[in-house]
């Protein structure tokens, strides 16, 4: 595999910092440019993240002294220097939509963590193990944008990365409806305990916009590519409550599910154990060996104990049992800034690189 030159747009933020660490020694991708808001322009990466480096590992040595570009003012220069960019910025939705299209129109593919384009019909939203075939829609998107190379591909919301991976392998039993309650980590809000002391010893029963995303985005993942668009599925029906809890990293979901054709418990466990997808078959650098880990112990999966397994890229499931109102209930955990954000985006980029979309 040829080594691709990549930029991180939003490099100073919580997800941007994760990208920096994940890409530090990546075998296919080499970070050669960092960008953030005009406020950070001209500072070195160390200066721009001083007092807000939120990772346990230190700033990558080779990025420390890189001088930050302005993501909005330096598009011409940035796109001339890289093969593609990862993007995770905190801006208004319409500004992000315009920014990402501007990069794509400069023939620079954008692998995005932002939600702005998740509803765009010809923008694939890929969980690499589940719907890699949605990449096919990129040809139609390039036609619309008038580009040869440039396109946008997005990652889904972090909350659903905990429960959709467990439900998707059960699709042919007809997943009819699912009720999910998510217990979401503070890094999902770009926060640490130092920066958000009010969350200690507290639970906040609201995360703006999260329940809508948790209910609607899965339907795109279950959707089909038809005539250059992704047509959303109409089932499963989801209902969600999303709650912020005092955990640094790792989203948990309590799931209740009913099927058209109820599988046995053994059939569900077998599906989870045997499920793998394109990342495992292609042996992508960040693919977990085992995508779904099931735990028999009643007190598992605990966030702190499982979130970092397989580089934070696996999804953890436990407590599968029959329910009195739905067919089954169970609990899932995934690392929200690794599998749920930067790691999921890097894996998607690896999939697209392996399939030739950056050539
Ligand atoms: P964050 O920590 O607040 O970082 C925001 C980044 O955006 C910083 O690099 C900031 O640069 C940059 N930025 C802000 N205003 C800008 C502007 N006008 N022009 C260009 N860059 C600008 O946010 P985050 O948590 O990393 O989230 C970033 C994106 O990823 C959001 O869309 C979020 O919804 C999404 N996301 C986050 C998570 C998560 O777990 N945190 C998960 C999935 C998706 P400065 O430092 O210069 O201000």
Question: Using 50, 70 and 90 to split pLDDT, how confident is the model at 98?
Answer: very high
CA distance 57 to 63: 13
Query: Does 190 have pLDDT greater than 90?
Result: no
Residue 350 near residue 284, CB atoms below 8 Å? yes
Average pLDDT of every residue of the chain: 97
Q: What is the pLDDT of residue 326?
A: 98
Which ligand 1 atom is nearest residue 68's CA? Answer: 47
What whole-number distance in Å separates Cα of residue 342 and Cα of residue 330? Answer: 26
Q: Which atom of ligand 1 is nearest to the CA of 16?
A: 26
Q: Domain 4-157+342-354, what fold?
A: Rossmann fold (3.40.50)
- For residues 153 and 208, the answer to whether their CB atoms sit within 8 Å is no
Q: Is 344 in the pocket of ligand 1 (CB under 6 A)?
A: no
Give the pLDDT confidence score for residue 267 in this predicted structure: 98
CB 184 less than 6 A from any atom of ligand 1? no
Decide: pTM greater than 0.85: yes
List b or e across 207-236, with b for residues whose CB sees 16 or more CB atoms inside 10 angstroms: beebbebbbbbbbbbbbebeeeebebeeeb
Mean pLDDT, residues 310-328:
98
Closest atom, ligand 1, to C-alpha of 189:
41
Would you state the pLDDT for residue 2? Answer: 83
Contact 187, 151 (CB under 8 A): no
pLDDT, residue 48, reads 98
pLDDT digits (tens, 9 = 90+) for 249-289: 999 999 999 999 999 999 999 999 999 999 999 999 999 99
Q: What is the pLDDT of residues 110-167, one digit of tens each?
A: 999 999 999 999 999 999 999 999 999 999 999 999 999 999 999 999 999 999 999 9
In the three-class reduction of DSSP (H, G, I as helix; E, B as strand; rest coil), residue 43 is classed as: coil
Both structure tokens of 164? 């959709």
Q: Which of the four pLDDT bands, split at 50, 70 and 90, describes residue 236?
A: very high
Q: Ligand 1 centroid to 334 CA: how many Å?
A: 20
Give the pLDDT score at 21. Answer: 97
**Residue-level pLDDT at 167:** 98
* The pLDDT of residue 278: 98
pLDDT greater than 90 at residue 307: yes
Residue 177 has pLDDT above 90, yes or no: yes
What gap in Å lies between CA 176 and CA 170, rounded to an integer? 11
What residues act catalytically?
158, 251
pLDDT, tens digit, 9 for 90 and up, residues 35-52: 999 999 999 999 999 999
Residue 174 pLDDT > 90, yes or no?
A: yes
Query: How far are the Cα atoms of 156, 171, 191, 331 from residue 248, in angstroms, in the given order?
Result: 20, 32, 8, 19
Per cent of the chain over pLDDT 90 is 98
Does position 1 have pLDDT exceeding 90, yes or no?
A: no
Write down the domain spans for the chain: 4-157+342-354, 160-335
> Would you tell me how many other CB atoms lie within 10 Å of the CB of residue 142?
19
For residue range 193-226, list pLDDT tens digits in order: 999 999 999 999 999 999 999 999 999 999 999 9
Q: Quick check: CB of 340 below 6 Å from ligand 1?
A: yes
> What is the CATH architecture assignment of 160-335?
2-Layer Sandwich (3.30)
User: What span, in angstroms and rounded, lies between the C-alpha atoms of 137 and 296?
Assistant: 40
pLDDT band at 77 (very low <50, low <70, confident <90, very high): very high
């Amino acid at each position: 595999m040829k080594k691709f030159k990549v930029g991180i747009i939003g490099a100073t933020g919580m997800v941007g910092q994760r990208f920096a660490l994940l890409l530090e020694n990546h075998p296919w991708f080499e970070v050669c440019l960092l960008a953030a808001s005009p406020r950070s322009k001209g500072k070195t990466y160390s200066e721009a993240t001083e007092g807000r480096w939120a990772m346990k590992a230190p700033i990558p040595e080779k990025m420390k002294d890189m001088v930050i570009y302005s993501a909005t003012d330096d598009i011409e220069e940035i796109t001339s220097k890289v093969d593609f960019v990862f993007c995770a910025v905190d801006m208004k939705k319409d500004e992000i939509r315009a920014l990402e299209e501007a990069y794509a129109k400069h023939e620079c593919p954008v692998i995005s963590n932002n939600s702005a384009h998740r509803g765009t019909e010809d923008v694939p939203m890929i969980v690499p193990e589940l719907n890699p075939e949605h990449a096919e829609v990129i040809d139609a998107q390039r036609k619309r944008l008038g580009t040869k190379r440039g396109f946008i591909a997005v990652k889904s919301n972090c909350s659903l990365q905990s429960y959709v991976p467990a439900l998707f392998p059960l699709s042919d039993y007809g997943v009819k409806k699912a009720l999910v309650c998510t217990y979401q980590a503070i890094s999902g809000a770009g926060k640490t305990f130092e920066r958000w002391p009010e969350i200690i010893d507290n639970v906040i029963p609201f995360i703006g916009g999260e329940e809508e995303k948790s209910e609607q985005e899965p339907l795109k993942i279950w959707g089909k590519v038809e005539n250059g668009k992704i047509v959303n599925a109409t089932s499963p029906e989801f209902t969600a409550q999303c709650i912020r809890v005092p955990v640094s990293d790792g989203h948990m979901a309590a799931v209740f599910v009913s099927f058209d054709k109820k599988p046995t418990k053994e059939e569900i466990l077998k599906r989870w154990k045997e499920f793998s997808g394109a990342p495992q078959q292609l042996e992508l650098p960040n693919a977990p060996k085992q995508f779904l880990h099931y735990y028999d112990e009643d007190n598992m999966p605990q966030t702190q104990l499982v979130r970092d397994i397989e580089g934070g890229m696996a999804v953890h499931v436990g407590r599968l049992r029959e329910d009195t109102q739905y067919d089954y209930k169970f609990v899932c955990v995934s690392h929200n800034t690794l599998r749920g954000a930067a790691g999921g985006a890097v894996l998607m980029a690896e999939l697209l690189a392996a399939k030739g979309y950056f050539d």
